[in-house]
Amino acid sequence: MSKGKEPTISNSVKRGPILFVMILGAFLATLNQTIMSVATPELMTDFSISATTAQWLTTGYMLVNGVLIPITAYFMQRFSTRQLFQASMIIFLIGTIVSALATDFPVLLTGRMIQAAGAGIIMPLLTNVILVLFPPEKRGAAMGMMGLAIIFAPAIGPTLAGYILENYAWETMFYGMIPLAIIVIACGFIYLRNVSERVKTELDILGVVLSTIGFGTLLYGFSRAGSEGWSSLEVLFSIAAGVASLSLFAWRQLISGSPLLDLRAFKYSMFSLTTIINIAVTMVMYADMMLLPLYLQNTRGYTALESGFLMLPGALVMGFLMPVTGKLFDRFGAKWLSIIGMVVTIVTTLGFINLTDSTSYTYLLLMSTARRIGMALLLMPIQTAGLNQLPNRLNAHGTAISNTIRQVAGAVGTSLLVTVMTGRTETHMLEIAASGGMEGATQAQIVTEATIQGINDAYLVIVGIGVVGLLLTFFIKRVKQAVEEPSASAPKMEKSGLLRAN
């Protein structure tokens, strides 16, 4: 490689087929994350388990993702694009088959965790491939297409799962994924080519152990906080152990010549800023994914299918806007797209802080769809603006860091919203009882009213987090990609045959 130059992709590489196969794989992996939440009531009945136990189908999936994602930076350097993608899809397929054939809860949970091991690799890998295939000035449109997978799939997941559960057994959700996964694997063998340079680097075993303990216990602690409360010794010990392990992990990465997750990416100001904004945006996004279904199904009596249909128009609008937003980003940058998107998101979220037991379905549909428009304008620009600043050698580490932060933010956001909702619901019940309000109402009606007010309070917290994110977006700037000379201790690269030096 010539001095001071970053590697660029040969023009012989056909980007379209590569992106199509990988986006399809990412779509399946992301869709799989959301379908189980709607199926929880039926699984509780079939397996005779409690809600706390059933929740492990989601919590366990998230834990495996959170533990595995930091290691993907090493995988993306050590193995070729084709090897890593095909391996992740095969692991995902195995997990899907195990889940479909499950006859008891432990087997189903095992299948879900195997799925998570494959799915956790796919999204960071796709992001890294886009960074390799496209120069910074053309990444917006490609990242917009990737948004179809990360946004559209979770949005249609509840609708699809609701339809299947109303007409078929829950196993159908997994059986339906098996042929789709096989098609993706077959297309991968035909169309995928290696597009990144492989790096000869040693696996930092101690770093893997510290990362696994740190992210595992941290995510576990936050996920349990929603049900056990923040004063629980189990929660406090898990979070403390996670923070301590991650502190040691961070120290080791900063002094290592071949770090598992190169935290030196944070020395680039725009990457650091957009990572912080992404934490706020992820928490804001989880409001729709968790609070709205709870309100619709638990307090208003809507079915899972009706709840899913309410979010479907927003998903369709978002799917249409993501590629458009990408092209706007390439032309105008991230700052004003992010500001406008955050303002729209905050204003529409304000429409959810006064929900009642008679709020119309049409109103909820319109506000939810408008909220998705705001999210479509800001999600991709914020992430891409930060990754664009990193030199090519930090692409794998930057994508792994970004995806890891999102996992942690999702866990924190979920537990925070559940804690606020449950805590404020109890407070409102006491207030109603003390004031003598709702005279003649049944206990169920009082609980419903208190729950709705608790959900309103949780939405108000989301507004506050959104305002913090909005203020930070004013500091976004358009910066050039950094070019950094590898240090003397940096690992050597293997020629892939598709890369050439400028």
Q: Is the pLDDT of residue 3 over 70?
A: no
Q: Is the pLDDT of residue 489 over 50?
A: no
Quickly name the fold that domain 267-481 has: Growth Hormone; Chain: A; (1.20.1250)
Q: Is the pLDDT of residue 2 over 60?
A: no
Overall average pLDDT of the 296-310 stretch: 80
Bigger pLDDT: 429 vs 137: 429
| Residue 12 confidence (pLDDT) | 56
Bigger pLDDT: 34 vs 239: 239
User: In terms of Cα–Cα distance, which of 131, 12, 112 is closest to 62?
Assistant: 112
Q: Name beta bridge partners: 7.
A: 501
CA distance 260 to 242: 17
Overall average pLDDT of the 100-124 stretch: 89
Residue-wise pLDDT tens digits, 57-93: 877 777 787 778 778 878 887 888 888 999 999 999 9
| Residue 203 confidence (pLDDT) | 77
| CA-to-CA separations, 341 to 62, 88, 277, 466, 470, in angstroms, rounded | 27, 34, 13, 11, 9
Residue 273: count of CB within 10 angstroms of its CB: 19
Highest mean pLDDT among 86-90, 201-205, 255-259, 394-398 belongs to 86-90
CATH number of 12-199: 1.20.1250.20
Residue-wise pLDDT tens digits, 286-295: 766 778 877 8
Q: What are the DSSP calls for 440-456, one per residue?
A: T--HHHHHHHHHHHHHH
Q: Do domains 12-199 and 267-481 have the same CATH topology?
A: yes
Residue 87: count of CB within 10 angstroms of its CB: 14
Residue-wise pLDDT tens digits, 11-51: 556 778 888 888 888 888 888 877 776 777 778 788 888 76
| Residue 432 confidence (pLDDT) | 82
Q: Is the pLDDT of residue 477 over 80?
A: yes
Mean pLDDT over each residue of the chain, to the nearest integer:
82
Domain boundaries, the chain: 12-199, 204-259, 267-481
377 phi, psi to nearest 5 deg: -75, -25
| Residue 287 confidence (pLDDT) | 65
Q: What is the pTM of this model?
A: 0.77
Residue 272: count of CB within 10 angstroms of its CB: 14
Q: Is the pLDDT of residue 52 over 80?
A: no
Which tokens go with 122?
């796919």
| Residue 495 confidence (pLDDT) | 44
Q: What percent of the chain has pLDDT over 90?
A: 23
